[in-house]
Structure 1
C-alpha cells in the first residue's frame, strides 16, 4: 500500500470512521446507556401500572383470579405485580400457594412465599405434593388477609422408606400457631427468571410495608411512588413502583410492581466484552476492506492513471477499457475514447505537418528555382544581347562593306537563340501552370517517332547520322500527341547534337503487360556521373563535356521532364555502350 496513495487514504478514512463510531458507541454505552435503560424500564413499569389500574377500576376480579385473561397476559409479558393495602397484607397474585384440608374438614389457604424466600434450599428438598400430611408453624395475616396462613416452619411426615423432612424455624414453644392437615393443592413456580422476580416482589413487600407516613400521605393523594432498592439477600438493584388505585368500597388499594435493574450491570459487563471483540473484528474488517478497496477501486484507478501518463507522453496506443458497469467503467470508456480520438487527431496533425513541411520545402525549392530561373535567364539573354549590341554598334560606326554581311548574320543568329530561349521559357511557364490540360489520345510511339525523324532529317545529314528504330511487341499508349512530339523532338535534337559524326542513333520501343518502354541511345561523350541527376534542371549544362557552342538553351530537358511528369511517366538517363541513353516508361 503506497504511502499517500488512494488505498492508504481509503484505509485511513475507513479506520477513522470505524474508530470514531466505536468510541461514540463505547462512550454512549458507558455514560448514557445505563440511564437510558433505567428510564426505559421504569417507563414500562409506569405503563404496566396504568394498564393494571384501569383493569382494576373496571373489574377488580380480573386481578384476583389467577387464570383470568389479564393475568395470563401479564405473565406472557413478564409483568410481576401484587395488589395489596397500606399494611402490606396481600390481596392478589401470590403464586406461592398451598391449600390444605384440616382434620375437621375445613380448608386453609397457605402462602409459601416467606418460607420459600428465606429457606429456599430446605424448602425445595421437601418436594411437597398433594396428599401428603404437613405440620405448619406460623401466623395468619392481618385484617383483609386474615384468611391466609403464613408459615415460618413446615414439616412433612416420613414414610416407610423416607425420613421426616422440614424447612424453616419452629421458634419458641407456643410462639406460633401450629396447624396440621393434608395437602390438597400446591403451587410453587420454578427457579426461572419470572419466579425470581416474584420472589423479589415479595421481598420488597416485606421490606417497605407497612409504609412510612411520607409514602402513605403521597399515595393517599393518588400520587405514585417510585423507588430504587437493593435487596438484602442478593444485593441486586431493583426499581419499585407503587400505584394507588381506588376500590369499589372507597378504600385505596396499592399496585406494587418491581423490575430488576441489576440486568443493566450485567448487560454492561457483557457489552464491554462484546465491544472488545467488536474492536478486534473491526480491525480485521478494516484490513479486508482495504484489500477490497484495492481490488475494486484502487487497481482500476492505477490502470487509468497509467493510461493517463501514457497519454501525457503522447502514447495513445492502449488496451481495451475496463469492463465495469459503474462510474469507473464509464471513466475508463471515456478515457479510452478520448485516447483514440487524440491518437487519430495526432496522426492527422502529424500527416498534415509532414504535408505542410513538404509544401514549405517545395515552396522554398520553387522560390529558389524561380530565383535561379531569372538569374539564368538574365545570364542566358545577356550574352546574345551583348553580341547583338556589339555588332550593331560596329555597323553604326561604319564598318567596311565587306564585313556587313557577317555582322548581320551574327545578329540574326543570336536573335534566333534569344527567340528559342524565350519560347522555351514561355513553354515552361505554361507547363507549370495549374490550368495546363492534356488532350490524350491513343498513339503508337513508332509512328510519332517517324514523323519527328522526318522533321530532323536535314540536321542528321549535316553530321552524317542515321537512325535505327527497334520494335518489340509495341503497345499503343494514351498521351497528348502534340506534347509527346515535343518530348521526342527535344530528345532526338539533343542526341543529334551530341552524337559522334557518322554514328547511328538507336531508338527502341518494347511493350509488356502493364507498360511500354521507349529509349534513345547515341554514341558520343558520356555525361559525368555527378551531372546525371542535374541535367533535368533548368539552364543546366555539363560544360566540362559539352561547351556552349554545341549546347542549346538549357531548357529542353527541363521541358521534357515537366511533360513526362504531367503524363506520370518514368524517365532515366545513363551512360551506356559508349554513349548516353534516355529511357521513358509509359504506363498502359
Structure 2
C-alpha cells in the first residue's frame, strides 16, 4: 500500500474545509432549490412507476407473490408502494383476518388490518372453534367482509371502539358464529410493527381529508403526525379491474429546513466560520500530537521494562510507520528478555541439579566408605594374623571370618550394581503375565526355615483373582525383601500376616509383622540408600542397607503404588499393581 504523508493529509483536510465553506456560501444563493429537488423526486417516482407497471402487467402473481415482489421492488428503489382497490384497501398489504361460520352456514371475514394495534394482537387469544360475535359494517361485492367495531370471544369482550352511549343507538351489522380459521401476525410481524402507520395513513389522508397541497399531477408532500417526517407522494389512477389507484411514496430529505436555517444564519456566518476554523485547527493539532504523545508514553514504559501494551496503528503515514517499528522493538525486547530469563532459570535448575548430584555423590562415597570400612578392617587384621603365624591352630576360623566379610562386600557391590542399573535405566524389565499369589507362596516357602528358627509363622490370605503383568524376577526380589525384613526385624514367637486383595482395578499386597513401631523420621527415610533404622541391630542381622532402595526403584518402574505405616501390632509394608486383563472379580 502506498503510504500517505502527514503533509499530504494536512493539505487534503485543509482543502476539504475550504470546499465545504465555499459550498455552504454558494448554496445560500439557491433560492429555488426546494422546487428543483421536489420536481426531481417526482420525475424519479414517475420512472419507477413505469418500471413497476411494466413488471406487474407482464406477470400473473398470486397474493403471496404480489406481496413478496412489491416488497423486493420497494427495497431496491427505496420507495413505498400501495395498490388501492375499490374499497380503499391496500391490495399488497398482508391481510390479517378471522373467518366466521354463522348458524346459516355462511362464511364472513373480519378485517383486522388498520384496526388492531400491536398490543391488541398480543392480547388476542383466539382458537379454532371459539364462539364469536362481531359488530361492524358488512361490505364487499359478496357482502362477506366485516369492518370490526366490537368483538366478543367466548362471551368475553376483547375489542370495542363503540362509545357506550352509542352502543344501543348505533345501527351496525352483527355476525354470530364459530371461528373456523384465522390469519394473525407472527412474532416477526409484531417486532416490525402492524399499527396503523406509514402509507396506510397517506391513503386515508388522500381520500378522506380535504386535498390541501395536492397538485394537478396528484403529487403532494405528506407530513406524518407522530414523527413529523415529510414524505413525497404521487398518486397514479388506474382503470384496471379491481384496482382504483397506485400510491408511490419516498422520503423527502430535510433540504427545506436546512436552506432556511442557513439563510437565517448568514449575518453571523463569517464569525462562525472563524470559530469553526479555530476549532478545526485545534482538533487537527490534537490529531497530529496525540499519536506522538502515545509514542512517548510507550517509549517510557519500554524504558521501565513494561511491554504489556502495544500502540494502535491508525494511519499509514510516518507516524504509523514509527508506531509499527516501536511495536516491533517492544516485541523483540520482550522476547529477548523472556529468553534470557528462561535461560537463567534453566541455568539455576542445572546448577541445583548439579548440586544435588554432587551431594548424592558425596553421600554415596561416604556411605560406601562407611560400609566397607568395617569388613576391610576385619579382613586386614585377620590376614595379618595369618601372615604372622600367630593363629596356627585357628586357621579355619580366621579364614572363615575373612570369607564371611568378603561375602558381605560381594553382596554390597552386587546390590550397588543392581541399584545403579535400575536408576540409570540400564536394566529393562522382562514383562510377562504371572500369578502374584504363586510368587508369594514360593517366597514364603523359602523363608519358612529362617522364620521357624525364631519361632515365627506365616498366615497368607489370598485374593481370588491374582493375575498381573510385570517382571517376575524383580517382583520376586521385592516380595523376598519385604518377607525377609519382616522375619529379620520381627519379634520372636510371633506371626507374620501376608495378604492380597483386589481394590477396583488393582491388586494390593500387604505384609505385617509384630515389632516396635518406627518413628516419623524412620518412616520418611526407610526407602533411602544405606539408611538403617537401628545401625547396631541392622549390622548384627545383616543386610547392605540398599534392599528397600532397590525395592523402591523396581516398584517405580512397574508404576506401582507403595508405602509403609505403623499399625497396632507393628509395621506394615504394601504395594499395589494393576490387574492384568478385563476379568471382573
TM-score under structure 2 length normalisation: 0.46
Larger radius of gyration: 1
